[in-house]
């Protein structure tokens, strides 16, 4: 039941009183006036109203003075017990100095089912908050409260509610609204507590982990010290290692600067790991380590001859290099790390001629360490020069890693497949190799990772390549080119007998007393079962024969010893795959045999010409001839065909050739159409094919030719003479025409090849036509046809 009362008012600063709360109030002047007025004129009752800014409160609680005394500090205080809500009315007069107002009490609302449900939910949240604070006694009190209104007013004691939230609870008369607000606020507070507790747990776990790691590291250091192990861990150990290492002065100074940075860096800093990795790399490099070269020139040559058959150019160059270094050492002229004291060789030739294995033999001959660096498919410049240390996972380049692997500053470094180096958005590795392979510059090579001058001038670099066309001219100019053009049949037989057969016998677990392959069988393999410049396929065939022999021995189909002769190769390898075909291909007019060089070595090239019948009229500007070219010909080769046609139309009469037969439609085809072809060296071959077509005379089947032709019939020099002559020998040709200006190149051709071939240097294509075309009288009806 509501009551109208006249009571003094006590304004609370930063506090809100709710019904059921008992609180001590320090008696300052205002509070003393209100308490004295209440004891004098209202039976000890007064209003407790919150002060919220400048707003005049509309609700307060009626409180009773329970006790007046002193605080522990000696100040006077009164204990007040809040009883019920009251709505503040107008001011009135009363005794004492306090403010008196009219007040109307507010009855507690009816308890609804909804209010009971909300009270249960709020009690659950409140108990969860108290459990996190381990306030078990208060939990018992909360569980004993059954009145939803009393439970809601207990929120006045919660320290996590703001002053405005408590004022809202005081002024909210609807119990359900009051409980809903409490549920929302308590839930938010509980979520914040869970996040805060999780963060605190994570921080505590991190601190405990760091402390545990620190303790374990201290114990580990103590254990290592007791065991006498000197494993570097800290900056002091690195300083000791740097100072005791055999380093150049500039390198030691740079390393000590990095040690100083490491000493100033914290253990948790990632920079410390980068510095340690850099220092480890610097300390592992053999800055002042060098091996002593072999001074016995004869012994070095014997090592090279034992490992490889032939290849005299390379062997002579290595022996010359050794001889010069030995003389410089004798006369005290050798300068370690001097400019240009090393050498850079480029071994160019078709696959299978022994370029890669030659590098290891050179290292054995020099008594140096050997390292192979595979460059095939490398497209990142950082692979050569290294990465900047600012990148994650940075490493030095392959050159620095090769020096570290070799363990000396003067190894033999084989740069394998240098012609397969590519370039893309990550840079051009071939350009990065310019400094590495320049004897005048590589004594101060600087890797991006090390950022220190590395002396490569005493390194013997050997680069291998199949095709020189893909190597940049600036890079090729820095290397000393040694061409390995291929082997003759005699060379292949010797290599197969002395090198390949013993190696394959070991792989097949056979002994030399169990299997013998005759020289005639080896020659048959090289001549009719393979057609290559090297011996890689020949080694595979020898291995295939030995595997079949091992199978026969295992199944008792053969008895030891087994002799493989030329007549038995058909049982082991099947029918020969390659037979001379020049006679067959040139059996009709318009076909000539040329010579070409590919990435696989020298090869024969047939040019076919025909004049198909057509009724299509010539287009303006075709000059009376429509020339069709097929066979994937490049621009230079197409131009050679045009030049050949123009030459015969202008000078054919001088050779007794009726150029009128070349009017109309002429088709020129170079077989093996799936293979791209280009270059000017097929010019004389095209002239011969067209001359054969126009005259109806056959081209001799045993004649091959190569050379660039001009409009006046001059034969210009070309490249790859040695490889082309080796291919002519393999193809069974007898006479080969080469340009007159290529005659000096014949000095590089083996004597046995020149003995089997009739090599004729010419300066005019007319000389080729005079010999290569068979006389008309010997062809029967060829001309009439």
Q: Domain 489-573: which topology? A: Helicase, Ruva Protein; domain 3 (1.10.8)
Distance CA(694)–CA(658), nearest Å, equals 6
DSSP helix/strand/coil, 436? helix
**Cα–Cα distance for residue pair 737/760, rounded to 1 Å:** 5
Q: What pLDDT is attached to residue 235?
A: 56
**How confident is the model at residue 785, as a pLDDT?**
29
CA 429, CA 434: separation in Å to the nearest integer? 9
What is the fold, at CATH topology level, of the domain defined by 113-192? Methane Monooxygenase Hydroxylase; Chain G, domain 1 (1.20.58)
- Regarding pTM above 0.85, the answer is no
Dihedral over Cα of 584, 588, 591, 593: its sign: positive
pLDDT at 442: 84
Question: Which residues partner with 592 through β-bridges?
Answer: 607
Q: Is 750 marked within a binding site? A: no
- pLDDT averaged over 10-residue windows placed end to end, the chain, 785 residues: 85 89 89 88 88 82 91 87 90 83 86 88 88 85 87 85 88 89 90 86 80 78 68 65 89 90 74 86 91 85 87 84 80 58 82 87 90 89 86 88 92 92 81 86 88 89 89 90 84 91 92 92 89 88 93 87 90 84 80 86 88 56 72 92 91 82 85 85 93 90 94 92 89 92 90 91 93 72 35
Residue 510 structure tokens: 């056979």
For residue 71, give the DSSP letter.
Answer: -
Q: How far is CA 278 from CA 260, 395, 407, in A?
A: 13, 9, 18
Could you please report the per-residue DSSP string of 467-493? -STTS-HHHHHTSEEEE-----HHHHH
Burial bucket for residue 580 (CB in 10 Å: 0-12, 13-18, 19+): middle
Helix axes 635-651, 683-695, angle to 10 degrees: 40
First to last CA, the chain: 139
Selecting among 582, 592, 640, 681, the annotated active-site residue is 681
473 carries a ligand binding annotation: no
Q: Confirm or deny that 706 is annotated as ligand binding.
A: no
CATH topology assigned to domain 297-483: Rossmann fold (3.40.50)
Q: Assign 294 to helix, strand or coil.
A: coil
User: Do the Cβ atoms of 561 and 515 come closer than 8 Å?
Assistant: yes
- Return the structure tokens found at 8: 């003094």
Residue 354 labeled ligand binder: yes
Q: Has 724 been annotated as catalytic?
A: yes
Would residue 15 be called left, alpha or beta, if left means φ above 0 and alpha means ψ between -120 and 50 degrees? Answer: beta
Token pair, residue 47, equals 């209003």
pLDDT for 767: 93
CB neighbour list of residue 552: distance below 8 Å, 6 or more residues apart: 558, 562
Domain with residues 4-105, CATH architecture: Roll (2.30)
* Phi and psi, residue 385, nearest 5°: -95, -5
What per-residue confidence (pLDDT) applies to 542?
94
Q: What is the pLDDT of residue 758?
A: 94
Measured CA to CA, the distance from residue 773 to residue 467 in angstroms comes to: 34
Rounded to an integer, what distance in angstroms lies between the CA atom of residue 705 and that of residue 726?
13
Is 349 labelled as part of a ligand binding site? Answer: yes
Residue 310's SS3 state is coil
Contact 707, 743 (CB under 8 A): no
- Quick check: is 681 catalytic? yes
From 426, 423, 510, select the one nearest 475 (Cα to Cα). 423
Is 351 annotated as belonging to a binding site? yes
The greatest distance separating any two alpha carbons of the chain, rounded to the nearest whole angstrom, comes to 159
Confidence at residue 618, expressed as pLDDT on a 0 to 100 scale? 47
Fold of 582-779: Ribosomal Protein S5; domain 2 (3.30.230)
Residues in the chain: 785
- Quick check: bond before 583 cis, omega within 30? no
| Domain locations along the chain | 4-105, 113-192, 235-284, 297-483, 489-573, 582-779
Element (H, E) at 223: helix 175-227
Tell me, what DSSP letter sits at residue 535?
S
Lookup result for tokens 């067209």? 690
């Amino acid at each position: 039941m509501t009551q109208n009362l006249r009571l003094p008012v006590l304004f609370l600063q930063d506090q809100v009183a709710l019904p059921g709360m008992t609180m001590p109030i320090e008696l300052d002047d205002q509070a003393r006036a209100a308490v004295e007025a209440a004891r004098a004129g209202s039976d000890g009752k007064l209003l407790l109203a919150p002060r919220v800014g400048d707003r005049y409160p509309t609700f307060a609680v009626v409180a009773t003075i329970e006790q007046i005394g002193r605080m522990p500090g000696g100040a006077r205080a009164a204990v007040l017990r809040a009883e019920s809500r009251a709505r503040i009315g107008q001011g009135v007069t009363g005794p004492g100095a306090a403010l008196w107002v009219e007040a109307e009490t507010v009855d507690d609302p009816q308890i609804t089912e909804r209010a009971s449900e909300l009270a249960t939910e709020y009690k659950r949240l409140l108990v969860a908050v108290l459990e996190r604070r381990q306030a078990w006694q208060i939990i018992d009190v909360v569980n004993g409260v059954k009145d939803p209104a009393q439970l809601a007013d207990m929120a006045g004691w919660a320290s996590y509610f703001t002053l405005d939230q408590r004022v809202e609870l005081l002024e909210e008369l609807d119990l359900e609204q009051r409980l809903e607000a409490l549920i929302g606020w308590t839930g938010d507070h509980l979520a914040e507590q869970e996040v805060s507790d999780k963060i605190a747990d994570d921080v505590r776990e991190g601190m405990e982990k760091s402390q545990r790691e620190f303790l374990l590291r201290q114990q580990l250091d103590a254990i290592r010290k007791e065991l006498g192990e000197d494993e570097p861990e800290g900056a002091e150990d690195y300083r000791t290692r740097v100072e005791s290492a055999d380093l150049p002065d500039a390198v030691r100074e740079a390393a000590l600067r990095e040690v100083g940075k490491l000493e100033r860096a914290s253990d948790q800093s990632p920079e410390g790991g980068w510095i340690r990795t850099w220092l480890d790399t610097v300390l592992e490099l053999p800055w002042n380590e060098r091996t002593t070269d072999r001074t016995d020139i004869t012994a070095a040559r014997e090592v090279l001859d034992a490992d490889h058959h032939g290849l005299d150019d390379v062997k002579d160059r290595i022996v010359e290099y050794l001889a010069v270094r030995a003389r410089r050492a004798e006369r005290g002229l050798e300068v370690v790390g001097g400019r240009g004291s090393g050498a850079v060789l480029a071994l160019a030739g078709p696959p299978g001629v022994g370029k890669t294995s030659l590098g290891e033999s050179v290292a054995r001959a020099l008594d140096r360490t050997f390292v192979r660096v595979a460059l095939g498919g490398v497209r990142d410049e950082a692979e050569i020069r290294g990465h900047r240390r600012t990148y994650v996972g940075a490493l030095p380049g392959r050159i620095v890693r090769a020096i570290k692997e070799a363990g000396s500053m003067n190894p033999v470094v084989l740069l394998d497949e240098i012609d397969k180096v590519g370039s893309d958005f990550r840079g051009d590795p071939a350009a990065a190799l310019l400094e590495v392979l320049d004897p005048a510059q590589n004594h101060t090579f600087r890797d991006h990772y090390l950022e220190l001058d590395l002396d490569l001038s005493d390194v013997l670099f050997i680069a291998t390549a199949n095709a020189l066309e893909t190597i940049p001219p600036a890079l090729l100019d820095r290397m000393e080119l040694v061409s390995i053009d291929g082997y003759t049949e005699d060379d292949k037989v010797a290599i197969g007998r002395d090198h390949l057969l013993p190696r394959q016998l070991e792989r097949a677990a056979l002994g030399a007393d169990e299997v013998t392959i005759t020289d005639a069988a080896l020659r048959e393999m090289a001549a009719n079962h393979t057609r290559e410049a090297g011996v890689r396929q020949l080694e595979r065939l020898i291995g295939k024969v030995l595997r079949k022999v091992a199978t026969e021995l295992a199944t008792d189909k053969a008895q030891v010893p087994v002799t493989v002769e030329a007549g038995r190769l058909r049982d082991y390898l099947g029918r020969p795959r390659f037979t001379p075909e020049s006679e067959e291909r040139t059996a009709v007019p318009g076909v000539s045999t040329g010579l070409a060089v590919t990435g696989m070595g020298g090869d024969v090239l047939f040019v076919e010409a025909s004049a198909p019948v057509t009724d299509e009229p010539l287009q303006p500007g075709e000059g009376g001839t429509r020339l069709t070219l097929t066979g994937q010909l490049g621009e230079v080769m197409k131009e050679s065909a045009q030049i050949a046609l123009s030459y015969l139309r202008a000078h054919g009469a001088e050779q007794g050739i009726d150029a009128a037969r070349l009017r109309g439609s002429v088709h020129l085809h170079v077989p093996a159409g799936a293979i791209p072809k280009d270059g000017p060296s097929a010019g004389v071959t095209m002239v011969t094919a067209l001359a054969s077509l126009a005259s109806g005379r056959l081209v001799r089947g045993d004649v091959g030719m190569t050379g660039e032709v001009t409009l006046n019939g001059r034969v210009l020099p070309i490249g790859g003479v040695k490889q082309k002559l080796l291919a002519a020998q393999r193809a069974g040709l007898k006479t080969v025409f080469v340009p007159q200006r290529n005659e000096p190149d014949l000095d590089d051709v083996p004597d046995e090849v020149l003995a089997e071939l009739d090599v004729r240097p010419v300066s005019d294509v007319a000389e080729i036509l005079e010999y290569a075309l068979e006389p008309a009288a010997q062809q029967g009806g060829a001309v009439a046809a």
